Amino acid sequence: GAVVSQHPSRVICKSGTSVKIECRSLDFQATTMFWYRQFPKQSLMLMATSNEGSKATYEQGVEKDKFLINHASLTLSTLTVTSAHPEDSSFYICSAAPGLYQHEQYFGPGTRLTVT
């Protein structure tokens, strides 16, 4: 149980284009979903927290107009990287929390974004 999927697993896009990443909780309803990015040999950096039906809460330093998050339902959240640049190339990971206690998170497999 507690499976989270992400799609796509890898994406290569050209500079200036937008990319959408989907995160789905497959066998539970997620009260909260989280988006992280991770650079090689670095820790997971929380980008934003989203609750179904409400606006996402972004961490300091994360541009909300660049990283658009939509939590459309209790099982789906999307992250859109708008006008991507090479410095946005990273590993993006989502996680979902099934209950009120946000420390109980289940992570997706991640999406490797490469911007050329």
Q: What whole-number distance in Å separates Cα of residue 27 and Cα of residue 31?
A: 13
Smallest separation, CB 8 to another protein (Å): 13
**Considering beta carbons, is residue 34 or 67 the nearer one to another protein?**
34
Smallest separation, CB 36 to another protein (Å): 8
73 CB-near residues (< 8 Å, 6+ apart): 52
**Considering beta carbons, is residue 77 or 105 the nearer one to another protein?**
105
7 CB-near residues (< 8 Å, 6+ apart): 21, 22, 24, 111
Q: Which residues bind another protein (CB under 8 A)?
A: 4, 6, 34, 41-44, 46, 49, 91, 93, 95, 101-103, 105-110, 112
Smallest separation, CB 112 to another protein (Å): 7
Closest CA to 75 of 26, 5, 36, 110: 26
